Amino acid sequence: MDKLTICKRCGSDACYSQEVNDSITNYQCMGCGFVSNSLMKPNSDFLNEQSEVLPELYKDLFFEDKDGYIWMPSTVNIPTMGMIFANGSNKDTWGWSAVKSVPMPEEEAEKFKEQGKDYKWKMDMETIQHFNERNYIDALEYIGVFAKQ
């Protein structure tokens, strides 16, 4: 069952909770941009596997809530809209960065097709905008997540 709950990291009332099954619930807060789930406990196999591929900044930003769940920054990658990610040199100076996607030029797309990949969009780093930690929702707005289709 899906519902809005209070975020255990920032206290926002815009935390989306999704029950996957009886033992797994995912959390995505639109207030702070952090995610968690019921498998993300300190020293759990799931969290350890996730940590192996995460940038150091993401690991530095881990937050443990009162129930023992670890929260980390989300990364949004919507090929036709753009991408949002935590960006910064350390946990004291980070913020959200957002870039818009643009159609992949045909000559670039052909190079990928030779490798067996069919890309139609790419992230345009020239459109990068930076947002403070508490402006995650503005980053979503910037890439068009809330635009009427």
List, for residues 3-13, the tens digit of each pLDDT value.
Answer: 999 999 999 99
Same-domain pairing of 6 and 25: yes
Among the candidates 45, 73, 101, a domain finishes at: 73
Strands 63-64 and 76-78: unpaired
Q: Is residue 148 part of a domain?
A: no
Asked if pLDDT for residue 149 goes beyond 80, the answer is: no
pLDDT of amino acid 1: 61
Q: Is residue 139 part of a domain?
A: yes
Same-domain pairing of 99 and 37: no
Q: Is residue 86 part of a domain?
A: yes
Q: Is residue 90 part of a domain?
A: yes
- CB-CB neighbours of 140 under 10 Å: 21
Q: Give the Å distances, CA to CA, from 133 to 22, 96, 149.
A: 32, 6, 28
Same-domain pairing of 90 and 52: no
- Please count the structural domains in the chain: 2
pLDDT of amino acid 116: 87
Among the candidates 54, 73, 92, a domain finishes at: 73
Q: What is the pTM of this model?
A: 0.89
Q: What burial class does residue 59 get, using C-beta atoms within 10 Å of its C-beta: 0-12 exposed, 13-18 middle, 19+ buried?
A: middle
**What does the pLDDT look like over 89-111, one tens digit per residue?**
999 999 999 999 999 999 888 88
Q: What rounded mean pLDDT belongs to the chain?
A: 94
C-alpha count within 13 angstroms, C-beta hemisphere, residue 54: 20
Expressed as residue numbers, the domain containing 90 is 76-143
